[in-house]
Structure 1
Amino acid sequence: MTAPLVVLGDTLLDVDVEGDVERLCPDAPAPVLEVLAEQSRPGGAGLAALLTARDGADVVLITALADDADGHRLRALLSAEVELVRIPLRGGTVRKTRVRARGRTLVRMDTGDGTARYSPTPEAVEAIRSAGAVLVSDYGRGVARMARELLGDRTVPVVWDPHPRGEQPMPGCALVTPSEAEARQLCADGYHGPDQAARSLVRVLRARAVAVTTGERGAALAVEGGPLTRVPAPVRAAGQDACGAGDRLAGAAALALRDGADAEKAVTIGVGEASRFVERGGAAGIRVQEQRLGDRPRTALEVAEVTRASGGLLIATGGCFDLLHAGHVSLLRRARALGDALVVCVNSDDSVRRLKGPSRPVVDVRDRVEVLRALGCVDAVTVFDEDTPAAAIEQLRPDVWVKGGDYQEERLPEAEVLGRLGARIVMLSLLPGRSTTNLIREIQ
């Protein structure tokens, strides 16, 4: 099996607001944008990881994500296509919003000040250990600072895509891929064109190869101890949206190096993929679906994880649900309306017998679960064998716990664990006259 590509770097949330401009604001000399669509996607290292994963590669992304709404959205956008290894982010998720009309960017708004905490986790160490190649995608937010410690004496190919406010690439990289603007920052003796910059940076950075990217003209490649090579772009996409082209080039080159290509072959592949990427519309042409709950049945833990990752509100409730009736259905529908997903915790047959007596349940747990799963308002069902759902709640960590009837919160057996988790308890009224006990009595 081919070893995965590991992408190590800073992930941003890119948002494109698309619209039409046909008039000016009446009270200021500013265009009025009629918004037609809004599209979110991962940016930075997240985009590089996503694009290489779509080449069919196994990709692990080591990145810093905040515990905020945009951080949750990034997890939802990425988790279906790449394996995530999360490092804590201090501050808020960096969001870059482009306002665009007819394919042109009118303005970009940047928010968020997040920087990675220096925290090489055991999961990150293990991911690097299993890598076939590593792409360091530096966007100046601190994740690249961990590269030297994480990589140690690893001998796999390392591609470093630098940033003007980022880290100096570590010595020994198989390939460094600065843009002309980034090369200017790295050349301490002044910038005298991409060819000279590539030659100089191979020596200064102690890299095995440096490719200074030059947009639609391709790249200037210098290899340690070898001649300079000009790598032309096979497609000239002048005037088109080049956002994400550098990520595409670096990712494709890293995959090629992993698979045994030399630097010239890897850069040729990278330049070709980047130029075709721009021709197809660049980053603006990418469509990413947030991971959603999808077709049921799914496990309760899967539903909980996906709901949290997408920034949704997880609702949970519990009970025997023996002889499901209109009162149960009403409660479950109203519970589901409180949030984005509903998980039902069901007492096992033994648990019901301990609570209700030897004649219960009337319906065994497999049938009770099957009936509950058939309801459109229920996203998942889990069974617990204890007298209370406390252990299930501990695993699920719901945002809201719903109980039917007139219980006092402090008298609920599960109140302690709910309080510790910070979950809100909501009491919903029951439909009068509807109960399993009444149904059994009428049947008898």
Structure 2
Amino acid sequence: MPPSLVRSHADGPVRPFGRDAARPGTPPVGVPPRGGGRHRARTRPGASVVDHVGLPWLVGLGVVLLLVVTLSVWTLLAGRVDTIRDVARYPGTAPAEWGPAATWASPPLLPDVDPVVVGGDAVALVSSDRTLLLVSAADGTVRWRAALPEGDVHGEPALTRIDGTDVLALHVGGRLRWWETADGTHHETGIPEGSIVSTLGEVPLVATGSQVTPMTTRHARPVSVPPGMVALAAHEDGQITLAGPTGWAHLGPDGATRSHGGWENASSPAPTVLGYTGGFVLLVRPDAGGGPATVEAHADRTTDVRHVFGGPVVLPPDGRVTWSASPSGSWGVLGRALVDLRTGRVDDLGGWSTSTVTADRAYGHIEGQTVVVGPSIPRGVLASGEAIPVALTTAGALVRGPAPHTDTSAGTDPRRRDDTVYLLPARRTAS
């Protein structure tokens, strides 16, 4: 694994992939956010139709008719609904807060590619026939669709920005492809084989060996990462945030160092770079005396990186930690601790193991029970067999399940990783 990018959970504590930081989240009170510092012919007896109306007029009429037909066909295709609306009920035990009467269900989805919420009111899906769909969460209407070419699909679509425009970016085969969220306009650029694409910052960051490219535009150039540092995030001005055991640095799009510094509360042993979420660099610092480790949040600002808060965390015996960030970019779960970046709160969850983290809540397991908790969600225990949402929208929860009309009498577990998602409205509005 190249040293220039955050590693995966399996390779260590830092993680390159995530939907959580398309843009920095709201920093705690007192921490300045990043930025600042962006004619009709005469007729003759027996004349033909062409003689009557004129050849140019007929050609013009033909062009108009062709445009009308083309537009009509395009409109029909764009408005075609690939979601299923005649869904009576969710085929399983719906989550307690959301009703079983589904608003719509997705087509079969490509395995291992989760749905992604876009702006709260839309959902990006990749169907099993390799079609990217942007769907209205409220009613399942397809806003636009795009066929994916052959090639491996790496991760989920990510909401980010390129060329100053909100886009959905996806690494397919040897190319980075993106679609403007407004209308699905497609762009692409080639990237070297073996590249890793991270979308933890404001723009995508493409890592290839010891070089990284901040994808502010399709013409962006790679820069080299100094030894001992990892590239965490790229910003709209082309600046790249780096971190390492001894400190941080900002590189410009030309590769020159703009600013750098050591961690404010240096200690021995040195901290481990955990990752990057919502405009914060996260570190885990072990205690020299064998006591609890400390998680630290450092605000990534335009010209510096400043310590904001820290809190004790219990690490597993092997010392390996997993950071599961919320898509909101404002909090996450570190091992068994809930870390709220907005308030600086670190809460120990006990014998917790994480299952799913959504915008405002996390689901996990404690002593065989499925538990829900969030920064503003009191801890609760789910009923046996109750489904777990994979994401939350303004219209309700997205919940995986078997395809509509599937026979579940043979004991199908609706909580397994099925190939369909259902939109379940809140119970107060469910029928």
TM-score normalised to structure 2 length: 0.28
The structure in which a higher percent of residues are strand is 2
- Higher helix content, 1 or 2: 1
TM-score, normalised to structure 1's length?
A: 0.28
Q: Which has the higher contact order (CA 8 A, sep 6+)?
A: 2
Q: Which has the larger radius of gyration?
A: 1
